[in-house]
Structure 1
Amino acid sequence: MANRFYAGLVVLGLIVLVAWNSIFIVNEKEQAIVLRFGEIQRVVDQPGLYFKLPFGFAGADNIQVLPDRLLRFDLDDIRVQVSGGRFYEVDAFLVYNINDAARFRQAVSGSIPLAEQRLRTRLDAALRRVYGLRGFEAALSNERGEMMRQVRDELRTDAESLGLELTDVRIRRTDLTAEVSEQTYERMRAERLAEAERLRARGQVAAREIRARADREVSETVAAAQRESEIQRGQGDAQANATFAAAYGRDPGFFDFYRSMSAYRQALENTGTTMVLTPDSEFFRYFSSGAVANGAPSVEGAQPSIPAPGPAAAAQPPAPAAPPSGEAQNAAPALPATPGTSVAQDGAPQPGETTGAVAQ
């Protein structure tokens, strides 16, 4: 009884082992190649549970599982030469999938690294060919898309020979090499400096033009103002001279007296000046007792208050100057009047009145 039980367990174990080696599962991301004694029997590309001959280690059916999805292969730092002769560094990648598992198995024994190694060589050659026909600026312009399509079309035939379907090719980076980058930087720096000098020169020219216009406007304005001031001053001097001439014509004696009083004030008032003159000096003729000049009134009992002259007179002041300007006329003070004498506001004596002045 016990021997039957153990024999049943052995048979059951063999059945489980055979069943386990006779089935395989394919999921939605995979595809499988069934190999019998190294030859391809069939390709399973649909997910599910499948059967095969057991005991693959004895040369029966073996299963090679391959991905059934898009794969990406990157190629970095490819040194390419453009039409101008300079070298640049390019990073690119391609996207592919295994669309013919049997051919893929025959071409590269189902090895993805080996397939990518072949794609690397062909992608490098295609990029060099495409860049060699164009300049560096093409990769930065609208031609970039056309360049990627051209590389993809050149690789598509080679990819199909490996059982691969090439979906897309993209250029991630196109950069300058170290020496080209330095040369480009120096050239751009020189261009910017030249542009700055041109802008600075234009600014200086514009500044000079603006400054010249402003100086011309200032000169014209100042000249016009000076011309107008000279005209006004000339008109004022003419009017003042006319007024003086009219006053002199009305009463020459009083006009002479008024001029002498103005000269006394300018010469003696608050100046601290000491004058040494003879008692009979012409300058103080209106301070002499009973002196009458040109019909002008005399000042009774007035004596000049000057130091006594020495053996010889030290200086003789000049005769009274010409009629003062309009400002001096207006600034002349009113003369003090003695009892019984009045002076008009404009300095002329009223008719029928006696005029006199005493020097202080």
Structure 2
Amino acid sequence: MSGRNVTIILVAVLGLFVLSNSLYVIKETERGVLLRFGEVVDPDITPGLHFKVPFVNNVRKFDGRVLTVDSQPERFFTQEKKALIVDSYAKFRVADTAKFYTATNGEESRAMGLLSQRINDGLRNQVAVRTIQEVVSGERDQLMEAITAQLDVVARDELGVEVVDVRVKQIDLPPDVSESVYRRMNAEREKEAREHRAQGRELAEGIQAAADREVTVISANAYRDAEQIRGDGDAEATRIYADSFNQDPEFYSFTRSLRAYQDAFQGSGDVLLIQPDSEFFRYLKDPKGGS
């Protein structure tokens, strides 16, 4: 190969190298800054194909999408000096590329660490002015809105990022406090259960007493009605017997004597000592009952 051809090849390779280092692309999901010897000359490069001077300019690209920083659970104290373990996260995105690059050197991990510290500081301040009831349920939404607005101002000014949202994932009591709270809640529930059982027994006894009283009243009324009906029946039977026997008193006397004989002589071992002229033998001596 001649020296001329080698020179042409070297020039072509050098040209390709220079061209490849002169062109760069910023995607729609990216944000970028153009540097010249480390100094920011273009703080917000638009998406597309761009040109830079090799070895003079440098481009730093950042993720322009919404990112998530997941903070570690921290212990905070409420207004009543009660400890809570709060686990939170935040959504943010790069708003000012120049400030973001200056504050974090373009490192997302560093930005997340700094933002996490500010989230914890903001949460500590917000929790400190609220009671445990307000933090857990009463003003939880207001707390997140307040910390989001406050943190967004600080993050824009110091880190060049926009805080989209801050959310509390979980609020727990510390293990030592949780155990004492559990014991207190258990004691309260047991006390409440005993009260309910006592009220239930009292109500059951009242119902049982009312039922027993009702049974006694119903039984007494039924016995009274039965005795009254039985008395009316006996009176009616006596009247019927009296009417029947008054129609023929002699026949009544005869049948009564026969029943007396039957009752007296039905036993095999009975012995009667009676005078022969006794009234008992009246119809035995004379079928007509003559004396």
Q: TM-score, normalised by structure 1?
A: 0.70
Matched, 1:274 2:260: no
Q: Which residue of 2 aligns with 1:130?
A: 126
SS in 1 for 2:260: helix
Which residue is 2:53 aligned to?
53
Confirm or deny: 8 A CA contact 1:292 1:298 kept in the other structure: no
Q: Name the SS of the counterpart of 2:70 in structure 1.
A: strand
CA separation of 1:298/1:11 partners in 2, compared to 1, >3 Å: closer, same or farther? closer
Deviation at 1:234, TM superposition (A): 3.7
Q: Which amino acid aligns with 2:220?
A: A
Which whole-Å CA distance do the structure 1 matches of 2:233 and 2:20 have between them? 134
Letter in 2 for 1:138: E
Structure 1 residue matching 2:71: 3-state secondary structure: strand
Unpaired runs of at least 5, structure 2: none
Deviations 1:26-50 (A, max 9, x none): 1112222222222122234311111
- Please give the residue correspondences for 1:102-121 in structure 2 after superposition, counting only pairs within 5 Å: 102-121=98-117
Provide the residue aligned with 2:206 in structure 1. 209
Q: Is the 8 A contact 1:80 1:88 kept in 2?
A: yes
Relative CO higher for 1 or 2, CA cutoff 8 Å, sep ≥ 6? Answer: 2
User: Which of these residues, 262, 284, 290, is aligned with residue 298 of structure 1?
Assistant: 284
**Sequence identity of aligned pairs in percent?**
34
Distance in 2, matches of 1:115 and 1:243, equals 118
Q: Are the structure 2 counterparts of residues 69 and 224 from structure 1 closer, same or farther at C-alpha, using a change threshold of 3 Å?
A: closer
Q: Distance in 2 between matches of 1:199 and 1:273?
A: 73
CA distance in structure 1 between the aligned counterparts of 2:12 and 2:235, rounded to whole angstroms: 149
Q: Deviation digits for residues 64-88 of structure 1, max 9, x if unmatched? A: 2222221110113111112222212
Determine if contact 2:155/2:163 at 8 Å carries over to the other structure. yes
Pick the aligned partner of 1:182 from 173, 179, 183: 179
> Radius of gyration: which is bigger?
1
Instruction: Determine the C-alpha separation between the residues in 2 that align with 1:215 and 1:204.
Output: 16
Match of 2:93 among 87, 90, 97: 97
Aligned partners of 1:232 and 1:298: how far apart in 2?
40
SS at match of 1:298: helix
Cα distance between partner residues in 1 of 2:139 and 2:186: 27
Aligned to 2:135: 139
Q: Secondary structure of 1:28's match?
A: coil
Matches within 5 A, 1:323-342: none
Displacement after TM superposition at 1:292 (Å):
7.2
Amino acid at match of 2:270: M
- Structure 1 residues 221-253: Cα deviation after superposition (integer angstroms, max 9, x where no partner): 222232233334444445555667777878777
Structure 1 SS opposite 2:284? coil
Is 1:218 aligned to 2:215, yes or no?
A: yes
Please give the TM-score of this superposition, normalised by the length of structure 2: 0.84
8 Å contact from structure 1 (residues 253, 294) kept in 2 = no
Q: Distance in 2 between matches of 1:3 and 1:36?
A: 37
- Residue 159 of structure 1 and its aligned partner are, at CA, apart by 0.7
Q: Which residue in the other structure is 1:41 paired with?
A: 41
Runs of 5+ in structure 1 lacking a partner? 286-290, 301-353
* 2:216 maps to 1:230: no
Deviation at 1:203, TM superposition (A): 2.6
Structure 1's 211 and 267: CA in aligned 2 closer, same or farther, altered over 3 A? farther
Q: What CA distance in whole angstroms lies between the structure 2 residues aligned with 1:10 and 1:236?
A: 142
* Structure 1 pair 29–244 and aligned structure 2 pair: CA distance change class (3 A): closer
In structure 2, C-alpha distance between the alignment counterparts of 1:75 and 1:162, rounded to whole Å? 17
